[in-house]
Amino acid sequence: MLSLIARRKHFFNVHGVEANDSRLSRPQTRLVDELFALDSRIRYVALLDRNSKLLESRMRSNVMSLTPETYDRKFMASVPPMILDTLSQLENQCGPLTHISIQYKKVDLVIFPHNNQIVAISLEPGPLEPILRKLRDSLNIHIHL
């Protein structure tokens, strides 16, 4: 367990944000609203802190979830941090992890670190490049397109 905590601290240190960073002044609700405003394909947004605490979990108001809300919360609080922690082990050799995209038949997921938080969004299926471009441009995330 200690190694998981150490990896998580390393992950956030590599991404260069400390808890008292002034960039964290944007409330979670505002960030979620900005993400939903980026594209109508965004169905769901979750924000987690560096300790995997779920800070915000919100489905777009006119969209039905594919899974029960309790499952969404449990999944988002455990899976994105685990994936980012695991994949960030290659950062010393490959450079900082910018994002992870996962595509299912019914939904796409994009997970990325941002301002000392983990952001997870689910999308209606479709091309990811337009969404990634919007994320890159609006949040200043270093995504190769």
CATH number for the domain harbouring residue 103? 3.30.450.30
pLDDT score at 6: 52
Q: Residue 144 domain-assigned?
A: no
pLDDT in tens, 4-63: 445 555 554 544 444 434 344 446 788 999 999 999 999 999 999 888 888 998 999 999
In the chain, at which residue ranges do the beta strands (DSSP E only) sit? 42-48, 54-59, 100-103, 108-114, 117-123
Q: How confident is the model at residue 72 (pLDDT cuts 50, 70, 90)?
A: confident
Residue numbers of the domain that contains 17: 2-139
Q: Residue 52 domain-assigned?
A: yes
* Cα–Cα dist 117/57, whole Å: 13
Angle at CA of residue 139, ends 34 and 15, nearest 5°: 130
Q: Which two tokens stand for residue 138?
A: 């609006």
Q: Residue 105 domain-assigned?
A: yes
Q: How many domains are there within the chain?
A: 1
What count of other Cβ atoms lies within 10 Å of the Cβ of residue 12?
Answer: 22
